Amino acid sequence: MKTVIESENARRVADLTRDYEALGEQLDRRGIDIAAIKDRAKGFGVAVPSWGTGTGGTRFARFPGDGEPRNIFDKLDDCGVIHAMTAATPKVSLHIPWDKADPAEMKAKAEEHGLGFDAMNSNTFQDQPDQAHSYKFGSLSHTDAATRQQAVDHNIECIEIGQTLGSNALTVWIGDGANFPGQTHMGQQFDRYMQSMQAIYAALPEDWQIFSEHKIYEPAFYSTVVQDWGTSLMIAQELGERAKCLVDLGHHAPNVNIEMIVSRLIRAGKLGGFHFNDSKYGDDDLDSGTIEPYRLFLVWNELVDAESPDLNLAHMIDQSHNVTDPIESLMISAIEIQRAYVQASLVQRDVLAGYQAENDALMASATLRRAFRTDVEPILQMARLEVGAAIDPVMTYRASGYRANVGQIRPKVSGAGGGIV
């Protein structure tokens, strides 16, 4: 891989140097030091979800791709490629039970690729073979105490696995809710959820955080227990200091101003991090930055503005790659998130503050747009080049023949039908 990167980079370095210099000169006129921005780009990282390396699907169908990973070790290999190419994804986020395996072997494999482990993700929205109690009617908020206990135990197991791997956070997303008005008592259901979460929180190690992730709908289509950030905030407040709210960009009602939610959660001291993706309709789980790139920038604008040693956020990509090579989508997505972060770093905050103080709405707005429309591609490329990653990750990856190679080893998984049959 290293050889391919070097040979591909060699073809592009001259043009890059020219573009980087021209941009540096332009930024200098704005009083911005391009090298400092490039250092910020180098310091950026977003976690890759292990399951994102497989081809996703909808309830209608899943169309498999070539060389899909068969297990967590294959997934870690794929994550290794992504990080080698982009230098922007230093951590992997696991999903239990999908990723259950020998911890020592997993750590060894991760270290081989220079990867660490991010937040653990539990799964109580599906039934596993030989599971005692079904989650058909809920998990942490189920009316049946034994089912709730089973879900609590599973989350505690996720923590335990995570401890062996060096993770220090648990993300809890559940599909519990209802498909019909009246199906559940919404207040009592939430009470049951809180009791379960308190049991999990009691088992949380001192240096861990727990994230509650809200979602307006799906898989429940009338009501969802953790339906929005207001409920998520109530949860984090009730649980305690180590409980935070995780924001998934696709889990909101139409038209909602997400960057404002970011601002509010920061104020409440309860922002825990993000699940990045993009969407046009619902929880479309499309590649980050491909539908509404300015929205992604505005989210980062809040995050950069609020940067402080106290604000340690867990960022992960959470997408479903249905029609692309997942490795390519994850590389491109990591870069688009990084791009928004870098663009947000170009906002001239003192200038902006001046316009805001004078209610000069036009120039305040123009100040953001000026940062957004700056083509920071040379900064991202140079940051990658300098740490040995690829100037052009997709073309370099394609040149490497990685997918064809693993396609030889990993048999094609015939497309499991969606839930619609």
Answer positive or negative: Cα dihedral of 116, 120, 125, 129: positive
Residues 6+ apart with CB under 8 A from 219: 125, 175, 177
Using CB under 8 A as the binding rule, the residues of this chain from 372 to 391 that contact its own copies are: 372-375, 377
Q: Which is nearer to its own copies, 250 or 273 (CB)?
A: 250
Selected binder of its own copies within 127, 153, 307, 386 (CB under 8 A) = 127
What's the closest the beta carbon of residue 166 comes to its own copies, in angstroms? Answer: 25
Q: How far apart are CA 211 and CA 347, in angstroms?
A: 30
What's the closest the beta carbon of residue 376 comes to its own copies, in angstroms? Answer: 8
Q: Where are the beta strands (DSSP E) in 26-185?
A: 48-49, 91-93, 116-117, 120-121, 169-172, 177-178
Is residue 393 a contact residue for its own copies (CB under 8 A)?
no
The DSSP 8-state label assigned to residue 51 in this structure reads: G
Q: Tokens 């038209």 appear where?
A: 255
Local structure of 401: helix, strand or coil: coil
Using CB under 8 A as the binding rule, the residues of this chain from 270 to 329 that contact its own copies are: 279-282, 284-287, 289-295, 298, 301-302, 305-306, 320, 322-325, 328-329
What's the closest the beta carbon of residue 179 comes to its own copies, in angstroms? Answer: 5
Selected binder of its own copies within 369, 388, 404, 411 (CB under 8 A) = 369
50 neighbors 113 (Cβ within 8 angstroms): no
The two structure tokens encoding residue 359 = 């209610």
Query: Based on C-alpha coordinates, what's the Rg of the chain?
Result: 22
Is residue 132 a contact residue for its own copies (CB under 8 A)?
no
Phi, psi of 164 (to 5 degrees): -70, -20
Selected binder of its own copies within 136, 206, 207, 350 (CB under 8 A) = 136
Using CB under 8 A as the binding rule, the residues of this chain from 187 to 206 that contact its own copies are: 187, 190-191
Q: Smallest Cα–Cα separation from 235: which of 225, 224, 249, 221?
A: 225
Using CB under 8 A as the binding rule, the residues of this chain from 204 to 223 that contact its own copies are: 216-219, 221-223
Selected binder of its own copies within 7, 11, 15, 312 (CB under 8 A) = 15
In one-letter notation, the amino acid at residue 375 is D
Using CB under 8 A as the binding rule, the residues of this chain from 141 to 160 that contact its own copies are: 143
Selected binder of its own copies within 6, 10, 11, 18 (CB under 8 A) = 18
Q: Which is nearer to its own copies, 73 or 98 (CB)?
A: 98
| Residue 87-116 contact track with its own copies, rule CB under 8 A, x = bound | -----------x------------------
What's the closest the beta carbon of residue 355 comes to its own copies, in angstroms? Answer: 8
| Residue 34-63 contact track with its own copies, rule CB under 8 A, x = bound | -----------------x--x-xxxxxxxx
The DSSP 8-state label assigned to residue 2 in this structure reads: H
What's the closest the beta carbon of residue 61 comes to its own copies, in angstroms? Answer: 4
* Helix intervals (H) in 71-220: 72-86, 103-112, 145-165, 186-202
